Amino acid sequence: MTAELVRGQNHPLPDTRLELRVSAGHPVVAGATLGDEQGRVAGAEWIAHPGAPVRPGIEVTGDVAAEHRIAVDLAALPDTVHRLSLLLALPPGAGGPVRFGTAAAPFVSVTGPEGAAVATYTITGLDRESAVVALELYRRQGVWKVRAVGQGYEGGLADLLADQGAPAAADLAAAVLDAAGPAVPAPPVAPPPTAPETAPAGVPADASADASATTAISYAHPGRRPAPGPAAPASGPDTGPGAVPPQAGPAGQAEARPAPVAGDATGWTMDERLYNQVWGMFEDLARSVAAYRSARDFADHRLDRAIDEVLADPGARVGGAGDAARAAARATHDELMGRAQEALDRDLAQLTAESEVVEPALPVAYARWDNPVWHAYRTPEEPPMAVRLGDLHLPERTGLRIPFLVRLPLERGLWVDSGPGRTSAAGLLDEAELRRLALDSAVAHTARLLAAHPAGALTVHVLDPADGGAAAFAPLVETGVLAAPPARGAAGVAATLAQLTERVDLLQMAVRGDASEDLPPGFDLSRQLLVVHDFPHGFDDRAVTRLRYLADEGPSVGVHLLMVADRADAAAYGPVLDPLWRSLLRLTPVPDDHLADPWVGHAWTYEPPTVPPGSAVLWQVLGQVAEARRRNLD
Q: How confident is the model at residue 188 (pLDDT cuts 50, 70, 90)?
A: very low
Q: What is the pLDDT of residue 25?
A: 77
Contacts of 202 (CB under 8 A, 6+ apart): 265, 276, 277, 279, 280, 281, 282, 283, 284
Lowest mean pLDDT among 54-63, 190-199, 325-334: 190-199
The DSSP H or E segment spanning 354 is helix 319-358
Q: What is the pLDDT of residue 216?
A: 29
When pLDDT is averaged across residues 404-409 and rounded to a whole number, the result is 94
- The residue type of 543 is A
Cis peptide before 536 (omega within 30 of 0): yes
Q: What is the pLDDT of residue 127?
A: 83
Phi/psi of residue 10, nearest 5 degrees: -120, 170
When pLDDT is averaged across residues 63-83 and rounded to a whole number, the result is 91
Full 3-state SS string of 379-395: CCCCCCCEEEEEEEECH
Q: What is the pLDDT of residues 269-287, one digit of tens each?
A: 899 989 999 988 998 899 8
Residue 25's nearest CA partner among 190, 136, 180, 249 is 190
Q: How confident is the model at residue 3 (pLDDT cuts 50, 70, 90)?
A: confident
Considering only residues 8 and 286, tell me which one the structure prediction assigns the higher pLDDT.
Answer: 286
Could you tell me where in the chain the CATH 2.60.60.30 domains are found?
Answer: 3-190+201-217
Q: What is the pLDDT of residue 427?
A: 60
The DSSP H or E segment spanning 7 is none
Angstrom distance (rounded) from CA 113 to CA 354: 39
Pairing of strands 402-407, 386-393: antiparallel
Q: What is the pLDDT of residue 306?
A: 85
Residue 487's nearest CA partner among 460, 509, 468, 465 is 465
Could you tell me where in the chain the CATH 3.40.50.300 domains are found?
Answer: 372-633
Q: What is the pLDDT of residues 17-65, one digit of tens each?
A: 999 999 887 889 999 999 988 889 998 999 999 888 999 999 998 788 8
Q: What is the pLDDT of residue 609?
A: 92
Q: What is the pLDDT of residue 233?
A: 33
- The dotted CATH code for 3-190+201-217 is 2.60.60.30
Which CATH architecture fits 372-633?
3-Layer(aba) Sandwich (3.40)
Q: How confident is the model at residue 194 (pLDDT cuts 50, 70, 90)?
A: very low
Q: By percentage, how much of the chain surpasses pLDDT 70?
A: 85
DSSP string, 285-342: HHHHHHHHHHHHHHHHHHHHHHHHHHHH-GGGSSHHHHHHHHHHHHHHHHHHHHHHHH
Q: What is the pLDDT of residue 479?
A: 95
Lowest mean pLDDT among 1-5, 99-103, 376-380: 1-5
| pTM attached to this predicted model | 0.62
Q: Is the per-residue pLDDT at 583 higher than 60?
A: yes
Contacts of 491 (CB under 8 A, 6+ apart): none
Q: What is the pLDDT of residues 495-537, one digit of tens each?
A: 999 999 999 999 988 888 777 777 788 788 899 999 999 999 9
Full 3-state SS string of 60-112: CCCCEEEEEEEEEEHHHCCCCCCEEEEEEECCCCCCCCCCHHHCCCCEEEEEC
Q: Do the beta carbons of residue 410 and residue 446 sit within 8 Å?
A: no
Angstrom distance (rounded) from CA 405 to CA 401: 12
Greatest CA separation for the chain: 94
Lowest mean pLDDT among 244-258, 483-497, 580-594: 244-258
Eight-class DSSP state of 453: S
Q: What is the pLDDT of residues 289-310, one digit of tens each?
A: 988 998 898 889 889 888 888 7
Counted residue by residue, the chain has a size of: 634
Q: What is the pLDDT of residue 317?
A: 63
When pLDDT is averaged across residues 615-624 and rounded to a whole number, the result is 94
Angstrom distance (rounded) from CA 127 to CA 205: 23
Which CA distances in Å does 610 have to 160, 293, 441, 467, 614? 52, 31, 7, 23, 11
Eight-class DSSP state of 187: P
Q: What is the pLDDT of residue 96?
A: 65
Q: What is the pLDDT of residues 532-573, one digit of tens each?
A: 999 999 999 999 999 999 999 999 999 999 999 999 999 998
Q: What is the pLDDT of residues 214-272, one digit of tens each?
A: 222 222 333 333 333 333 333 333 333 333 333 333 333 444 556 888 888 888 889 99
Q: Do the beta carbons of residue 592 and residue 392 sit within 8 Å?
A: no
Q: What is the pLDDT of residue 475?
A: 96
- The residue type of 442 is A
Q: Is the per-residue pLDDT at 190 higher than 60?
A: no
When pLDDT is averaged across residues 403-408 and rounded to a whole number, the result is 95
Mean pLDDT of the chain: 83
Q: How confident is the model at residue 94 (pLDDT cuts 50, 70, 90)?
A: low
Angstrom distance (rounded) from CA 601 to CA 280: 16
Q: What is the pLDDT of residue 585?
A: 95
Q: What is the pLDDT of residue 241?
A: 34
